[in-house]
Amino acid sequence: MANNLISKTAGILTAALVSLTAAGAGNSSAIPRPEYPRPQFERQEWINLNGQWSYTFDFSRSGMDRELFRSEGFDASITVPFAPQSELSGVGYTDFIPEMWYHRTLDIPSEWAGDRIILHFGAVDYIASVYIDGRIAGRHWGGSSSFAIDITRLVTAGKTHNLVVRVEDDERSGEYAKGKQSERHDSYGCLYTRTTGIWQTVWMEAVPKTGLKDVYIVPDLDQKRFVFRPEYYAVEAGQQLRIRVIDNGKTVSEKTVPATAQSQAELPLKKIKTWSPETPFLYDVEYDVLSADGEVIDHVKAYAGMRKVQIIGNRIYLNDEPVYLRLVLDQGFYPDGIWTAPTDEALKHDIELSMAAGFNGARLHQKVFEPRFHYWADRLGYLTWGESASWGANINLTGSARNFLTEWEETVIRDRNHPSIIIWTPFNETWEHPDNREAAREACRFVEDVYELTKNLDYRPCHDVSGNYHVMTDIFSVHQYMQDPAQLREWLAPVDGKVRQHDLANREVEYDGQPYLVDEYGGIKWVVGQEFSEISWGYGDAPKTLEEFYARLEALTDVILSFDHICGYCYTQLTDVEQEQNGIYNYDRSAKFDMDRIRTVFSKVPEGFK
C-alpha cells in the first residue's frame, strides 16, 4: 500500500502542475494562498485550484437564460481566491454585484480512478451553484461556511472538464448574514467594502470510496483521554479505524475500533501535556481506515490539544484555573484582500501583533475566520471566540432564519476541533430591533433555538449575543464605549448588589450569575496620516495628544480590571479598518503607538486570575 501511495502522490503532483499551467498560474510558486487549507484533516492527494479563472458579471441576472452554466470560458480574468472587490483579485470593482459567473478547467488525474473526487470551497458569498460540463453538481447557501461537493459522477479520471460557478449575492435583502459589509454604495461608520463570490481557497482531493468524512475530537482532561467520533463517506463489512496519538514522533496512545456510525474511540494518555496560552502543546493524530484484511484504505493527518474549558460560578476556567480574558476585537479585513488575507503569513502575523500588544486572545468579530487562522491560533496559544457574520440577517424573516441556522451549524462543525476556540458567539447586538412584544417573542425564540443548536453540536460555552440583548446564555456581556473613566466606573458599578444591564424592554433576561464581561469598550480614535480623514470614525472625541490617548486607554482599562464581578474584556480594536480608525495598529498593520506602553496596559491581570 505504501508504494501505491507514493506512486499516486507522484501522479498527483504531475497532474497539479498540468492543471496550474492550464489555469494560467504557471507553477506552484505562482499559486496564491498555496498552503493546505484544512490543516486539521489533511490528505496527501489534493490539488489547489487557486489562480487565474475567467469570469463575467451578470448585473441583469440573465445568465441562466443565456445558459452561462455551459460556458467554456469568459472574457475577463480574476485571481481566485480573492473577491472581485479586492485589489488582489485583479478586478477591483467595488459597486454591488448581484450575480457573477466563474469558469476554469479541471484536470482530473488518471491516478484518481476509483476514488471519490471531492471539490472543496473554503467560502463563497453568498449562494453558489456549481456546474461540471453544464450539469449541476451542487448548490450551497452561506457566505462564510465551507462546503464540499462530490463530483465523481460528473468527471472522468485522466480527462479535462469545465467547472462553472454561479454566484448570487444581495447584501440588502435581509435574507443573508453579511457581517460588516456595507449596504450602501460606499463604506460608512463601521461598515466596509463588500465581498462577493469566491473568497477562500478552492481545492480538490481524492478520497477512497469508504474513506473518512470527518472526526469530532473531544478532549477529556479529567479522565486523561481523547474521545474521537468519526464519520465516513461509506463503510464496508469488516472495516476498522485505527487512531494514533503522537507526541513528538512517538505514539503515546493507539486504538483500533470498528468503522461504523455507532463506534467512537476513547484513547487514554498516561502522561498529559495540556494546551494553554503559556504552553500551546499539540498532539499529532493519524487516522487509518483499514479494510477487513488490514490494508490501509485511507490515511489522514490531524492534531489535537488537551485542554478543558468550563464555567464555575461567574468565572471562566481553562485547565481548572480561572482565566481573565484580555481580548481584542479582530474584524479580519485587509487593505488589498478585504475578507481574504493576502498570505498565510499575514494570518499568523495578525495574531503575533495582538500578542505583542499584550492580549491573550481575540473576539473574532462579524466574520467567520478561515481554518488557517485557527491553525495559527492553535500553534501560538491564542484564545478566540468564534462568531458569525450575523449582521444583515433579519432573523424575523423565515428565509433568513433558515439560512442562518444552516450556515452556523456548518461553521461550528468545521471549527470545533480547534483548541484555541473557547466560546461560541452566534450573534452580535442582534435582530431587527422589534418594536412590539410579539416580534420580540419570535426573535427571542430564534436566539434560544440557536443556543440549543450550538450546545448540541459542541461542549463549549455558548454566548448567545455579544452585548446588549441576552436571551439564553452561558456568558453575560455588555458593550460600553464611554470615554470618561469616571462615567464608566459609575455605569459598571453594581447597584444594590445587582450588576449593570442594558435597559432593553422585551429583549433581555436578567443577569443570573454568569461570567460577566465588557466585551466591547474603548474604540479610541487616533488617526496617523490623512487616509480617510474626511470620514474617519471612532468612539467619542479623539484625544488631542498621544499622552492623552495613553492616559485614557489605561484609565478605562483599569476601571474594568478593578471590578471583582468582571472576568474579562474586549478592546476595540486590533487594526483600523478603512474609515474606522480606532485600532491599536494602522490598517496596513504598521505601528501607531509605543507598543511597550500599549503592552503594559493590556498585560495587566487581576489577582486570582492567570
C-alpha cell at 576: 483600523
Residue 251 domain flag: no
Q: What is the CATH number of the domain that holds 415?
A: 3.20.20.80
Same domain, 186 and 329: no
Q: Residues 6 or more apart from 345 whose CB is under 8 A from it?
A: none
Distance (Å, whole) CA 156 – CA 110 = 8
Task: Report residues of the chain scoring pLDDT below 70.
Answer: 1-29, 431-435, 503-507, 530-533
pLDDT value at position 507? 66
- Label the pairing between strands 127-132 and 202-207: unpaired
Residue 246 domain flag: no
Of 162, 186, 206, the residue that ends a domain is 206
Helix-strand-coil percent breakdown of the chain, rounded to 5? 20, 30, 45
pLDDT value at position 13? 37
Of 206, 227, 256, the residue that ends a domain is 206
pLDDT value at position 432? 54
Distance (Å, whole) CA 391 – CA 395 = 10
Q: Residues 6 or more apart from 300 whose CB is under 8 A from it?
A: 41, 42, 43, 211, 212, 215, 286, 287
pLDDT value at position 396? 79
pLDDT value at position 431? 59
DSSP E strand stretches across 305-381: 309-312, 315-318, 321-322, 325-330, 361-364
Residue 392 domain flag: yes
Instruction: Give the CA count within 13 Å in the CB-facing half-sphere of 157.
Output: 15
> Scanning the structure block, which residue is given the C-alpha cell 479582530?
330
At residue 72's C-alpha, the angle toward residues 68 and 76, to 5°, is 80
- Are 574 and 584 in contact by the 8 Å Cβ rule? The answer is yes
pLDDT value at position 506? 61
Mean pLDDT, the chain, integer:
92
pLDDT value at position 500? 84
pLDDT value at position 26? 33
> Which DSSP state fits 555?
H
Distance (Å, whole) CA 561 – CA 602 = 10
- Are 448 and 427 in contact by the 8 Å Cβ rule? The answer is no
Q: Residues 6 or more apart from 545 whose CB is under 8 A from it?
A: none
C-alpha cell at 203: 481545492
pLDDT value at position 509? 81
Residue 263 domain flag: no
DSSP string, 120-136: EES-EESEEEEEETTEE
Of 146, 180, 206, the residue that ends a domain is 206
Instruction: Give the CA count within 13 Å in the CB-facing half-sphere of 20.
Output: 21
Q: What is the CATH number of the domain that holds 57?
A: 2.60.120.260
Helices 546-561/595-602 angle, 10° precision: 10
Same domain, 473 and 332: yes
Per the structure, how many domains does the chain have?
2
pLDDT value at position 450? 96
pLDDT value at position 373? 98
Task: State which residues form the domain around 439.
Answer: 323-527+568-582
Distance (Å, whole) CA 263 – CA 259 = 7
Same domain, 196 and 332: no
Residue 496 domain flag: yes
Residue 247 domain flag: no
pLDDT value at position 468? 73
Residue 354 domain flag: yes
Residue 66 domain flag: yes
DSSP string, 32-60: SS-S-S-TTSB-S-EEE--EEEEEEE-TT
Distance (Å, whole) CA 57 – CA 521 = 41
